[in-house]
Structure 1
Amino acid sequence: MRKVGYIVLAALALGLFACNQQAPGGASLSVQSAPEKGRYLVVFKSETLPSNAQALVQGAGARVLKTLEPIGALTVVADRAAVSRLARNPQVLAVGPERYYSLPKTERILYQEETYGAPSAADNLYKYQWDIRRIGAPKAWERVPLEVQARATVAVLDTGVMDNHPDLVGQIVDFQATNYCYETAGPNNTPSYPKYSLWIDFDHFDPNNLCTPAPYVTYEAHGTHVSGTVAARFGGGRVVGVAPGVRIAAYKVFDRIHFTEGGEEYDDVGAFDGPIFEAILDAAKKGYQVINMSLGGTLDTRNREDVAAMVAWDRVMKYANRMGTLIVASAGNSAQNANGYIVHIPSDLPTVVSVSATGTATPLWQYPYPTDETLNAVPGQDVLAFYSNYGAAVDLSAPGGDCGLDESGQSWCAKPASQRPAGWRYHLILSTVIVNETTPAYAWYAGTSMASPHVAAVAALVRALHPEWGPGEVRAHLKATAEPIGSRQLFGHGLVNADRATR
């Protein structure tokens, strides 16, 4: 199986909460592993779709899956002969594999009620949300009323959102599933977090029946965690978001995949280009002010097969900006310098706000453990999270969680959990999740996925205050009001600051 540039949900999970068996780390599934047909991205020279595009594709012997009219592209199922015919057409700029982007196996830290005591007042876990206080969100709440915040909507392109989570009830104003295989019914026909009970089975890929029914599996909590960081409401549950009055539009772009590699069977959660592009186009058309993309991956600028994907990504982001939508994306979790021919998509694109992740060097808690004290990160102790990508493309930084530093200045996260100090999980980001299929819960995650929604939420607050501003003005304002904390290569213009941004 050929390994390609891949997009993953950019959450680095640490600790005890095991997920299903998934593809080996870093592996991604090429649709060309199908014996005869596969998925392809067809990009036309025109930046809007030619009127004869579908007829052209059908005439070449391919079948259209998704029509991406505003960016002059289609996703198709085709064999190699059809691909060759399309590539030779004078109206076509590039044809390449529709990239599949995999979610790697993760572990996560679930909030354990028996460890920390029974619930008391609403928002009683806010004391553990050092990240919210570190970026000055409480000061912003004082000057941006909830009814003003409600003017802005953040589109979360992710795994879907649990809209009946106590912290998110009433916050989800739209739900779209653009992924190839989905069901729209959750508990009591709730539409916002459809179950992954339909698989694309690549061992038996049938272009006429893209989804193969499979037994009920589970929900993926990543999108719910991200949404809680953006907009968990006051007094609803137990945590608070950066912008508790902002609304969420939930876009489910990830599919469930089944495939065999090296004789081993894997169940995976991943996305294709087409569903992601369709979600961006839909959110921009609807006028949502901000899109959060806690996902990302790499494309090789030297690889001819990546040309179609790179052109399409560039076009779709520019389209969103023209429509007035600011896109915020995670910089990636590979601890790599992004200056080079391998580009991280979408965060490295110039029309996107790229967000690196920070942690804090000093302990956030006082012994004994566990603690009931309010946790606060100390200014001046911010560090680049050990997993975060960095480079010239980074615009801003935000808390993504780390484990603190040992005496040698190394992250405790590099050591097994059994060797870390008690309370290390307090350095991660606490937010909303779903467990046991339908149960609302809370968990600590770490990753640039967790950093990005902090910036998206602050951007939404700025747009709520300044609805006349376009994406460029918001981006410039966020940079100008960021708190400088170190090297531009690591932190961009600095740590996003909700207090300064809303003055």
Structure 2
Amino acid sequence: MLGGGNGVSRRLERDGFSVTRELAGGDVLIVSGPADSVDDLTGVRGVEGAVRDVQFQLEESAETEIPDEEGGESGGVESDWYENLWDKQNSDAVAANDIATGEGTQIGIIDTGVDYAHPDLTPNLDADAGRLFREGETRSGVEEDLVVNNPDPDEQIQRVKQHVASDVNGHGTHVAGIAAADPESGVGGPFGSGVQGVAPDADLISYRVFWWEDFSDEDEDPDWGPTTTTGDVLAAIDFGAEEGLDAVNLSLGTPPFPPRVHQDEVLRTIRLAYETVVRSAVNRGTVVVASAGNANTDLQRRGVFSLPNSTKGAMSISALAPNDERAFFSNFGTNEIDVGAGGGGYETNLKTFYGIREWVFTGAPLRRSDHPLEEGDEGELWLDEDGNVVFDPEEVAEVIEFESPAWPYPFNLVFSTTSPLNEGAPYGWKAGTSMSAPNTAGLVALVRELRPDASPNQVESAIKKGAEGGNGRSDPALGTGSINALNTVEALADDGGSGNGNRPGNGSDN
């Protein structure tokens, strides 16, 4: 609910409600009470609006691929996987790490959790700081929890005892590795030595907001899905700001809403709650980085919006392909996108899948250099009557011949850490604006290392000034351009000094 101060909490509790959390300095309250009591809440003096908390499910990444345990031998610290990291190559992240590595900064991953056992992440993971935000509660420590997508088909549903902020899906582990994986701490063996995050020395904080729930009716087969609530996401943002994190990354969000929902009291109140909490977090010095969404929608068109990325004060990040074009799935919109970053895929769905047939039929070799297609090689896609990619000759309705792009499937997706518990392997590829957001959150950490007192607005300005490929204005696909870590940190290093403004209370809206 919106509205606080002046004794509102006391009046609510006197009327039989329980205030479980005060956000944004008390301007947003999470309240528990009877399910039919919303009208009673709005009648309390000082309450500006109240709605039931909204529960929603996780939108998975646009594409996912996990390698088999095959391929080349383990080599040096950075050489094993760097050729797969086109997103880091495009942003010159490794060269930027000669100037800044994110040391002394903190990135909060508001997601499905982070794998507490992954060697690429454990050097940077602040285990004690991790939290689970679930149904109004903030939990820490070790508990038994449910994991559904176990790669073992005989034990798909299992209960595991682990830290409450540990990953229960795999999505958050991939996101965390993009932002801040340590390349010197890989798993070894056929999987190599490790992958490189944008800020390999930044501290990672796992704020888990998703859990598994069965959405089926009593007489139906189980329909498990990862779910969260608006209140839990808002609580995680507020908690991160209260803890003084440099950035919180939100690789999650709602589908695009049409402008008519502004007339819907529930969604109008939820949007205002997001704006209040994000504004409060930014004013306290935390940069809020959000994925733009994967619906291929113009968010500027006649008032269409999604949350939290359309929230004033949050950085909205679009997904770019290896050629720095907008990925086919990424949302876009003039004045809606701040910058673009590597998110995977190509401009079209079919171009993204070029190479999948050769990849599958050759047994999914582990190393990029082992892929059967090189740039310009001839290949083909098999499509069924609905235009879906198929591998059974009896299902083929159309064959498309093509010349392979520089990064055939799955290498045009973003390569990062994955959770063996959830996905069966320590590394894999995913695509989505979920991947572009942490590329930017990692860059926030580099800026904050060099400018620890910079306000969120100053951090955002530095990233935009270092971006490439834009036209100096708000491009619908790129915002001000594609992030470039080297340009950004070089400009800050050339300026000299480490203080640039008074960070607390000096944030401003986009």
Same topology, TM > 0.5: yes
Q: Distance in 2 between matches of 1:195 and 1:224?
A: 19
Aligned to 2:326: 384
Partner Cα distance (1:359, 1:267) in 2: 32
User: How much does 1:162 deviate?
Assistant: 1.3
Question: Could you say which residue in structure 2 is the equivalent of 1:279?
Answer: 236
User: Which whole-Å CA distance do the structure 2 matches of 1:444 and 1:296 have between them?
Assistant: 21
- In the other structure, the counterpart of 1:435 is 420
Structure 1 position 343 matched with structure 2 position 316: no
Instruction: Provide the rounded CA distance (Å) in 2 between the counterparts of 1:230 and 1:82.
Output: 42
CA RMSD of aligned residues (A): 2.9
- Alignment match, 1:497: 484
| Whole-angstrom distance in 1 between the partners of 2:203 and 2:158 | 33
How much does 1:297 deviate?
A: 1.2
Determine helix, strand or coil for the equivalent of 1:334: coil
Q: Report the Cα distance in structure 1 between the residues aligned to 2:212 and 2:179, rounded to whole angstroms.
A: 25
Which AA in structure 1 matches 2:77?
A
- 1:43 aligned onto 2:2: yes
Q: Is 1:357 aligned with 2:357?
A: no
Aligned pairs (5 A) from 1:181-200: 196-197=145-146
Cα-to-partner distance string for 1:322-358 (whole Å, 9 max, x where unaligned): 1111111100000101013332111112201110001
Letter in 2 for 1:138: V
CA contact under 8 A between 1:60 and 1:82: conserved in structure 2?
no
For residues 51 and 175 of structure 1, the distance between their equivalents in structure 2, rounded to whole angstroms, comes to 32
Structure 2 residue 132 is matched with structure 1 residue 177:
yes
Counterpart amino acid of residue 318 in structure 1: R
The TM-score, its normalising length taken from structure 2, stands at: 0.74
TM-score, length-scaled by structure 1:
0.75
1:220 aligned to 169, 186, 200, which one?
169
| CA distance in 2: counterparts of 1:182 and 1:112, whole angstroms | 37
Q: Following superposition of structure 1 onto structure 2, how do residues 83-482 of structure 1 map, counting pairs within 5 Å?
A: 83-104=38-59, 108-114=64-70, 116-123=71-78, 124-144=80-100, 146=101, 149-173=102-126, 174-180=129-135, 196-197=145-146, 216=159, 219-237=168-186, 238-260=194-216, 264=220, 265-298=222-255, 300-339=261-300, 340-360=302-322, 381-392=323-334, 393-403=336-346, 412=354, 415-416=388-389, 418=391, 423-436=408-421, 441-482=426-467
Shift of 1:98: 1.0
What SS does the corresponding residue of 1:383 show, helix, strand or coil?
coil
Once the 2 structures are TM-superposed, how far is the Cα of residue 262 of structure 1 from its aligned partner? 9.9
Letter in 2 for 1:441: P
Gaps of 5+ in 2: 149-156, 161-166, 187-193, 357-386, 392-398, 491-510
**Residues paired across the two proteins, number:** 412
Q: Which amino acid aligns with 1:490?
A: A
Alpha-carbon offset, residue 118 of structure 1: 4.2
Partners of 1:164 and 1:440 in 2: CA distance = 13
- 1:438 and 1:330, CA in 2 relative to 1: closer, same or farther beyond 3 A? closer
Indicate the percent of aligned positions where both proteins have the same amino acid: 26
Q: Report the Cα distance in structure 1 between the residues aligned to 2:390 and 2:429, rounded to whole angstroms.
A: 14
Secondary structure at the residue paired with 1:260?
Answer: coil
1:73 correspondence with 2:58: no
